[in-house]
Amino acid sequence: MSALSPSLISAPKASQWLKLTDEGHFELRTGKVELGQGISTALTQIACDSLGVSPAQVRWVAGDTEVSPDEGFTAGSQSIEVGGQAWHHVGHVIRSHFAKAAAKQLACHTDALLLKEGVFIAPSGKALSYQELAQAENHAWQALRVDDANATRIAVPSDTVVTKREDLWLKFTGAGFIQDLDLPDLWHARVLRGPHPNSRPLVIDTKVLEALPGVDRVLVQHHFIALLSRNEGVLIKAHAQAKALTAWSTPDLPCDLDAEVLLPKLSAVSHMAAHEMSRPPPPAPATLTLQRRYSRPYIAHASIGPACALAQPSRQGVQVWSHSQGVFKLRDQIAQALQLQPQQVHVKHSPGAGCYGHNGADDVAFDAAFIAHTWGLSVRVQWSREDEMTVSPMGPASLVDIQASVDDDGRICQWQTQVWSPTHLNRPSWGDGIQLLGAWSAFENCMPPTPKDVPLPTGGGLRNAIPAYDVGELSIEHHFIDTSPVRVSALRSLGAHANVFAIESFMDELSEAVKLDPIAFRLQHLNDARARYVIETVAQRANWQSRGEAGSGQGYGLGYGRYKNKAGYCALIAHVEVAERVKVHRVWACVDAGAIVHHDGLLNQIEGGILQAISWSLHESVRWNSQGISSHDWENYPVLSFNDVPELDIHLVDAAEHPSLGSGEVATGPCAAALGNAVAHALGIRARHLPLNPERLMQAIELTND
């Protein structure tokens, strides 16, 4: 590892990462948490390989603010690239330390040792375990540090380790999700909220709420209203009645719903985000210039299991169980809101039912912490489906305008991009204030922080706005929308979904204009050998050359991207049929994520990313009216159904010679682009605005006919 991760610097002692138990177990600590992506399995593989132990000996403590190292957020496809690399380093430092100690006590050279299930075995047959060695030299073990990037590593042969998804067993059979947790003397709570995050109750009649059947207590502070009961079943009915009895003031929302019309009308701050030249301009003027606009709407997280949290008072302050992606940042924000010290708030991660960014997990955790701390009760707060779809953060809408010129040789010589988008990051601790919905309601002086976005090269709204291709002179302008009609924050891939969709759609349109095959046109502008390999491989697997003419109703389309322009590579081809709607028959993908730690885990990540991108790109769009968010249930916010899951053919490149790269979000943008290009091939007409549902396709057809 060329440089130490911040977590190794902030947690420099080996004992902060590993506890050796008397029972012979290895209690491993990490700040990266299980969100359904299988990270616990991949980290187990890394730890077992680096320590020389078996999975049966491993116990993980993940995302616990009293025990785990602070590794920031589990986000951005960095769990393996950063968290995995951290544990790879930690494990080898610990292994080397104990190998030296074992060789000394067993009177042999370290090269002669064999390591089997945590036991160092000398040629003589004598053996010592990690635990025995630690006990013999407790002071040296407790003083061992891992914050040395050049720490000596000793290779000791050990058995090959194969791991399985151990986290799935509880999820299939018992209390595997936070929604299943229980506490002694537990109260249930539901928070009363309007149809928009900024809705406020016009009148709060506490007596009416207290009189509802099943309601045992009502907590009202400023605009925060919580109903409590011992019986969750009757509380659900009471909560529905209370919503029907409460009138809300809702902010005026714009009449325009389509992103390409709405976004340019919103207040924005514009600046030049990038300007570079990859090669000298051509001596002659460009022979062709093309300009197109593409967009995506606001998208909901739409987790199948709505947000949930538990909390109970503690001697110090309050303990919280949450499915947050960043327990340390959440701890700090809860402490700030409740005017406590960070050490008075203990947050423990518990898996939720799917998480792909900043959903309602942090907000519901504050709800539970606030109620528990205010009334001294153990409480479980469960959001409703309507809460989940209306007041949790949405994925921001984006509008992407691209203009490019091509020279006599058919090469792009100039490329200009303009992006309109709100911030893609409003997580707790991002900004100068508190990013918790309940705190804004409970405390009169608590206001949402001023939004800001992530600059390039990583980018928020501009993520992957820099083309992967050699385009000559490049300029990118960002129109940062400072006031959004709906609450927004991070959603899987951030701006890469819209930007890759736009870039790859535009590459197809340019290739058509210069009468070149779309893949040949891309390869003409692509020098990265790994990028070329994934494109050429997926083209071969999908038999690209036999895809047929445009306009037949059957279409094939390609999408390519390298996530953040520095993580995993993904090329993807979709086969669709367009009749009354778009039907995806098959998707081929080729992914290079460097060294593969856990094959099934990586495969699951790519499959999940493809299916989610199909749902976003064909179906999903947040809608509103004068009363607030109207896409508040599955009828008004349709998602991909099991009947529409296509056949998937995914090839993972075995690139063991390269470092592991982030992969959880690599397929999102390329899949959207492949669908857009496949639909254009099927119809002979380009639909440039997501989602590609029947309404949007009819708009494209009518626009073409006009």
pLDDT per residue as tens digits for the range 72-101 = 888 877 888 888 889 989 999 999 999 999
Among 188, 191, 237, 244, residue whose Cα is nearest residue 216: 188
Dihedral (Cα; 455, 388, 485, 670), 10-degree rounding: 50
Residue 492 pLDDT exceeds 70? yes
Give 180's contacts (C-beta < 8 A, 6+ positions apart): 174
DSSP state of 394: B
d(CA 668, CA 609): 6
d(CA 406, CA 410): 6
Instruction: Specify the residue for token string 């080898």.
Output: 92
pLDDT value for 165: 74
Domains of the chain, by residue range, sit at 6-168, 178-249+301-390, 259-297+395-424+459-705
Instruction: Specify the residue for token string 């008075």.
Output: 344
pLDDT value for 284: 76
60 or 543: whose pLDDT is higher?
A: 543
Give 607's contacts (C-beta < 8 A, 6+ positions apart): 648, 650
User: Which residues pair with residue 476 across a beta bridge?
Assistant: 274, 417
Residue 1 pLDDT exceeds 50? no
Looking at domain 6-168, does it have CATH number 3.40.50.300?
Answer: no
Q: Model pTM greater than 0.85? A: yes
| Ramachandran angles phi, psi of 522, nearest 5° | -65, -45
- Average pLDDT on 379-395 reads 97
Would you say 300 and 622 are in contact if contact means Cβ atoms under 8 Å apart?
Answer: yes
- Average pLDDT on 136-160 reads 79
For the chain, what percent of residues have pLDDT higher than 90? 81
pLDDT value for 159: 60
d(CA 28, CA 58): 7
DSSP state of 370: H
Query: What is the CATH T-level fold of the domain 259-297+395-424+459-705, as seen in this structure?
Result: Aldehyde Oxidoreductase; domain 4 (3.30.365)
- For residue 146, what are the CA distances in angstroms to 19, 27, 40, 45, 661? 14, 17, 21, 20, 23
Hey, how many other C-beta atoms are within 10 angstroms of the C-beta on 249?
A: 11
Residue 161 banded pLDDT, cuts 50, 70, 90: low
Q: Summarize pLDDT for 150-159 with one digit per residue, the tens.
A: 777 776 666 6
Cα 164–Cα 165–Cα 168 angle in degrees, nearest 5: 145
| Ramachandran angles phi, psi of 56, nearest 5° | -65, -20
Q: Among the listed ranges 158-172, 330-344, 390-404, which one has the minimum average pLDDT value?
A: 158-172
- Average pLDDT on 386-400 reads 97
> Is 452 exposed, middle or buried (CB count within 10 Å of its CB: 0-12, 13-18, 19+)?
middle
> Is 215 exposed, middle or buried (CB count within 10 Å of its CB: 0-12, 13-18, 19+)?
buried
pLDDT value for 622: 98
Q: Which amino acid is at 544?
A: W
Question: Token pair for residue 34?
Answer: 């299980």
Q: Do the domains spanning 6-168 and 178-249+301-390 agree at the CATH topology level?
A: yes
Question: Token pair for residue 475?
Answer: 């300029």
Residue 334 banded pLDDT, cuts 50, 70, 90: very high
Mean pLDDT of the chain: 93
d(CA 100, CA 665): 41
pLDDT value for 41: 86
Give 436's contacts (C-beta < 8 A, 6+ positions apart): 333, 334, 337, 362, 363, 366, 428
d(CA 624, CA 631): 7
Residue 138 banded pLDDT, cuts 50, 70, 90: confident
pLDDT value for 4: 77
- Average pLDDT on 212-225 reads 97
CATH code that applies to domain 178-249+301-390: 3.30.365.10
Residue 2 pLDDT exceeds 70? no
Q: Summarize pLDDT for 292-325 with one digit per residue, the tens.
A: 999 999 999 999 899 999 999 999 899 999 999 9
